[in-house]
A and B are shown apart, each in its own frame.
Chain A
Amino acid sequence: MADAAAVAHDDHHYTSTGLNNWKLGFWTFIGSECLFFGTLISTYMAYKGASIVGPYPEKVFDIPLTSISTFVLLMSSLAMVLALDGVQKGSKKKALIWLGTVIVMGAIFLGFQYYEFTHFIHEYHLTLQTNVFGSTFYVLTGFHGAHVTIGVIWMITLFIRVLQGKMPPEKALQVEIAGLYWHFVDIVWIVIFVLIYLIP
């Protein structure tokens, strides 16, 4: 999580590379997260077709529906970029509008996921326990959803800080790091959507 005070301090601190510590550290953390999701996705792929009983992926996936939520999440990255621009330029109004948009879009994505999960459970009786597909699918997308949830909470925090007038352009790095996280979570979803939903 971005460290409000320390980030501000480090902004003017000497570093060997000229890169900010927090940014570099966060990139390293994202590298670690790549391995985390990489392992979850590989587990899903390795277990593809291993389920002994149904329901199977072809039956439950609703590609048009998930395409909509994917599109929403993808567009939220654009809103994130505009929100950062707003903070950097000291435009409170712009920052609030676009941070608000990110929050709403993230919430819409989570809403779709909630609908998808409950639909799968009630309509197809696909639970965590039903078969290997259920286990791998829910754990993978569930962990991604948890990441989105943390991101939304983070964005709400930033939104309140902007509202309070505590986010001057010098502290834009806080929003930039939150943005790195948001874009990363977005990219992971693109990989999941392609590998898990689109490839039959």
Chain B
Amino acid sequence: MSTESQTTTESFESFESIQRSQVPAESSSHHHEEPTGIWSWITTVDHKRIGIMYFMTSMFFLGIGGLEAMLIRIQLFRPDSDFISAELYNQLFTMHGTTMIFLVAMPLAVAFFNYIVPLQIGARDVAFPRLNALSYWIYLFGGLYLNASWFFGAAPNTSWVGYANLTSTEYSPGLNVDFWVLGLSILGVSSIMGGVNFITTIINLRAPGMKLMRMPLFTWMTFVTSFLLVTALPVIAVALILLAFDRFFATNFFVVASGGDTTMWQHLFWIFGHPEVYILVLPAFGVISDVIPAFSRKPLFGYAVVVYAGVLIGFIGWGVWSHHMFTTGLGPIADSFFVASTMIIAIPTGVKIFNWMATMWGGALKMNTAMTFAVSLVGMFVLGGLSGIMHSSAPVDLQQHDSYFVVAHFHYVIVGGLLLGMFSGLYYWFPKVTGRMPNEALGKLHFWLTFIGFNLTFFPMHFSGMYGMPRRTWTYRAELNVEIYNQLSTVGAFILAISTVVLLYNLWKSARTGEKASHNPWGAPSLEWSIPSPPHHYNFPALPQVRSREPLWHEDERKEIEAITLAEPEVEPEMPNPSFWPIVLAAGVTLTWALVMTGRWWAPVIGLVLTAIPVYCWAFEDPFAKKETAHG
């Protein structure tokens, strides 16, 4: 499979000329006018539109989560500050963490799953288009529900891990934890349905010849992530259900006086929580595993090994959760096991790092914005990984636990891993989605502001943590001598905020006035680049026949471009109709959960009965019923 870099570069040039003559002409498939207007978006079941809505919504929540972070950083700028109250501070860091993980990081990745995966495997949509819309609407409503707590002055305030028994009605009597426990349950439903949908899509909707080991790495990592979603989310769902029962029906799950065990919450939370880390970061690994080969003009070095490493990370990710709990005193046997498994998981992760470097080695590198973000991920994630290996040792972890050192670590992993990767993917796929090129100058400005701001914010936290500054602390004393590190962090956070403004401006400007993009402006090898930018609503006029891992790149022995060999005649395919039942059903699900807050057992039952109506309407709706507008 591996080709020398020079050959690839040469064949790529010849590819361009052939491709132009053979790709389905862009004008030939405009039989069907795409509906516009707000109603068409509300009822859409098109994976591309749903992907765009996921992206927009996650950007909205990124703004909220970012604002919360800015207030935190202003509060910590000076010692003994009382810029905001301690109670508000608790709400801010809780909602910052919860928002960034459940409302920004996960849906941002899902935005890319939605838009890109069907295109990469040569499918016309996901397996269950209406279920996909339902996932989105539940995510939106769940996020709004969670944030509605601000209007009650009762935002969740027990941190994103919500350790028992701080979350009990005894210690948290207000609505705060109610919003948290119910809001997260709603969001979990959305993620599980998304996971089911993408597993089915990737197994079942691959174009002819798209074998598993020919799938682009982004699709592969989506596949692994989806398995983690459907297996990890039920665990947190149960934990949240137990907590909800404790709060609303006075059960004894985490009540120590009745024999309950607070450690149980920690186990359940982290059995979900550690796979969650890989749910966050694997999609980013997938993105840059596609971006780096495209801009190195080389096939990914050791494709199979990168795939297996990703799968292995998914597996081992299930066996490391207690490294979050070394300080709970699980005993030397348990601690040793989790020390070992945590150290082992560094191996497949390291393998990926080396594969990316080897891909770049000797390649014809093109350092545009997408590539720059991808390369920076390799470096920044190594930093986060190294501090992670430090924590893997239980005695070291005992020193660092709950300090700012940990805060530095997981921001290097999540921002330095997930966010940089998602930005890379954003610039990479921007032409495909909008039909226009992203502005490179603004892109580079965004990159440097992000890179500098990110390091300035989080690197000093290693030091403030080592000097003993605890995490989640409202303020600190001047004698702790961590003021300078906190000031650097705050300055860095402002630079990050500015970088986000640059990003949004660039997206807005490029989408309107950017240079028109061809179907494959980067000369990239995967199937999404074989169709017009932006794609038709049915993606592929005819399903492609895939014969290699880089279908749009020449291989030594072949003299034609196989990807556009069509597996079926070119006709406008039948696509499912729009439906408004997903949004109605999502509203019903959210309402049912919200009614649990009343504490009356029959209230959610009323919600369930109401929800049954859209379920039945949905089930008996024919998604392929004849449309009123004929086309031909």
Contact = CB atoms under 8 A, between A and B. Distances in A.
Interface of A: 1-6, 9, 15-17, 19, 21, 24-25, 28-29, 31-33, 35-36, 39-40, 43, 46-47, 50-53, 128-129, 131-132, 134-136, 139, 143, 157
A43 B230 contact: no
B203 A139 contact: no
A19 B619 contact: no
B9 interface: no
Contacts of B130: 3, 6
Interface string B198-210: 0110011110001
Given A15-B204, A16-B210, A35-B231, A40 B259 contact: no
Contact of A25 (B200, B250, B251, B258): B200
A25 B249 contact: no
Contacts of B615: 1
A52 B625 CA distance: 60
Given A33-B234, A52-B258, A129-B249, A2 B205 contact: no
14 contacts: A3-B618, A5-B622, A9-B624, A21-B127, A21-B200, A25-B199, A35-B232, A36-B237, A39-B235, A43-B238, A129-B250, A135-B251, A135-B260, A136-B253
B204 A52 contact: no
Contact of A19 (B204, B231, B622, B625): B204
B128 A135 contact: no
Contacts of A33: 234
Contact of B258 (A16, A31, A132, A157): A132
A2 B245 contact: no
Given A25-B196, A132-B252, A16 B624 contact: no
Contact of B261 (A19, A39, A47): A47
Interface string B594-629: 000000000000000000000110111111110000
A16 B259 contact: no
B242 interface: yes
A33 B193 CA distance: 12
Contacts of A39: 234-235, 238-239, 268, 271
B196 A139 contact: no
Contact of A3 (B205, B242, B257, B619): B619
B592 interface: no
A40 B268 CA distance: 10
Given A28-B230, A50-B259, 17 more contacts: A1-B619, A5-B620, A5-B624, A24-B203, A25-B197, A32-B195, A35-B230, A39-B235, A43-B264, A47-B260, A47-B264, A51-B258, A52-B258, A132-B260, A134-B252, A135-B251, A139-B241
Contact of A6 (B237, B238, B252, B623): B623
Nearest to B192: A32
A25 B233 CA distance: 16
A132 B259 contact: yes
Interface string B267-289: 01001000000000000000000
Contacts of B624: 5-6, 9
Most chain B CB within 10 A, of A1, A128, A132, is at: A132
A128 B250 contact: yes
Contact of B128 (A15, A25, A36, A50): A25
Nearest to B576: A6
A9 B239 CA distance: 38
Nearest to A166: B620
A28 B194 CA distance: 11
Q: Which of A2, A4, A39 has the most CB of B within 10 A?
A: A39
Interface string B62-100: 000000000000000000000000000000000000000
A25 B127 CA distance: 8
B245 A31 contact: no
A138 to B, nearest CB: 8
Contacts of B252: 129, 131-132, 134-135
A168 to B, nearest CB: 15
Contacts of A52: 257-259
Contacts of A19: 203-204
A158 to B, nearest CB: 11
Given A24-B203, A129-B250, A139 B242 contact: yes
Nearest to A174: B619
A176 B233 CA distance: 26
Contacts of B264: 43, 46-47
A3 B576 CA distance: 13
A131 B259 contact: yes
A31 B203 CA distance: 15
A4 B205 contact: no
Contacts of B195: 28, 32
Contacts of B128: 6, 21, 25
B204 A16 contact: yes
Nearest to A53: B258
A129 B247 CA distance: 11
A46 B234 CA distance: 18
B268 A4 contact: no
B206 A16 contact: yes
Given A9-B624, A52-B259, A24 B204 contact: yes
Contacts of B127: 21, 24-25
A35 B259 contact: no
Contacts of B237: 36
Given A24-B200, A25-B200, A16 B242 contact: no
Task: Please list the 8 inter-chain residue pairs (A to B) with the smallest Cβ-Cβ separation, ordered nearest first.
Answer: A5-B622, A135-B251, A36-B234, A39-B238, A35-B234, A50-B259, A15-B204, A32-B230
Contacts of A40: 238
Nearest to A135: B251
Nearest to B209: A16
Given A16-B204, A21-B128, A5 B230 contact: no
B187 to A, nearest CB: 15
B193 to A, nearest CB: 9
A134 B621 CA distance: 42
